[in-house]
Amino acid sequence: MDITLALLKPHVVRNVYAFQQIKQIIHQNFTVLHSKEVHITKQLSEHFYAEHKGKFFYNRLVTFMGSGPCHAFILQSKDSIAKWRELMGPTKVYKAVYSHPDCIRGLYGLSDTRNACHGSDSEESVAREISIIFPELDKNRLSAVDS
Ligand code: GDP
């Protein structure tokens, strides 16, 4: 069993129906170890998305992430990173709608920036992103759950 970080972006947290539907998908597929509403300040968002600094969409992305509360989850399952990314679908919403219409981004994404959700893409990203979004958690206890 391993863990991943999932983040629901502001427009889906604001949309009661979308939020409920995505939570249902999460609970059907994972054990939720931790879950909380999180207000991602611009500063936090810049740190979280540092690898994209300088790209044309960076300012739009970090501003959008601070436009309202997000909801963060630490999810556990076998192959949790790949599983959550598959449930999210492609980054680009036009592609998601066309090729994976039933994925979360295909159903609830509005644009490439407002593509409904985030998921860590590697074990290193999981550790880094959990320490940013859940700084209050003890890393050693999380890896104990992970084993
Ligand atoms: P992810 O791991 O699938 O979320 O994709 P990335 O790590 O490549 O990108 C992080 C976030 O940046 C994505 O979820 C999108 O919201 C945003 N993003 C990536 N590529 C683009 C793009 O070409 N245009 C816009 N507007 N946003 C993008």
Domains of the chain by residue range: 2-82+117-139
Give residue 114 CA to ligand 1 midpoint distance, Å.
9
* Nearest of 97, 95, 94, 93 to residue 115 by alpha carbon: 93
Query: Quick one: pLDDT at residue 1?
Result: 83
Q: Is the CB of 121 under 6 A from ligand 1?
A: yes
Average pLDDT over residues 109-133: 97
Q: Is the CB of 86 under 6 A from ligand 1?
A: no
How far apart, in whole angstroms, are the C-alpha atoms of residue 40 and residue 103?
25
User: Is the domain 2-82+117-139 a CATH 3.30.70.141 member?
Assistant: yes
Higher pLDDT, 142 or 83: 83
Query: Quick one: pLDDT at residue 30?
Result: 98
Q: Which residues pair with 118 in a beta bridge?
A: 7
Query: Quick one: pLDDT at residue 143?
Result: 53
Mean pLDDT of the residues in the chain: 94
Give the active site residues.
Answer: 118
Query: Quick one: pLDDT at residue 128?
Result: 97
Task: Give the model's confidence band at 138: pLDDT under 50 very low, under 70 low, under 90 confident, else very high.
Answer: confident
Query: Quick one: pLDDT at residue 146?
Result: 46
Q: Contact at 8 Å (CB) between 10 and 65?
A: yes
Neighbours of 70 (CB within 10 A): 22
Give residue 15 CA to ligand 1 midpoint distance, Å.
21
* Nearest of 130, 26, 138, 36 to residue 84 by alpha carbon: 26
Which residue has its alpha carbon closest to ligand 1 atom 8? 91
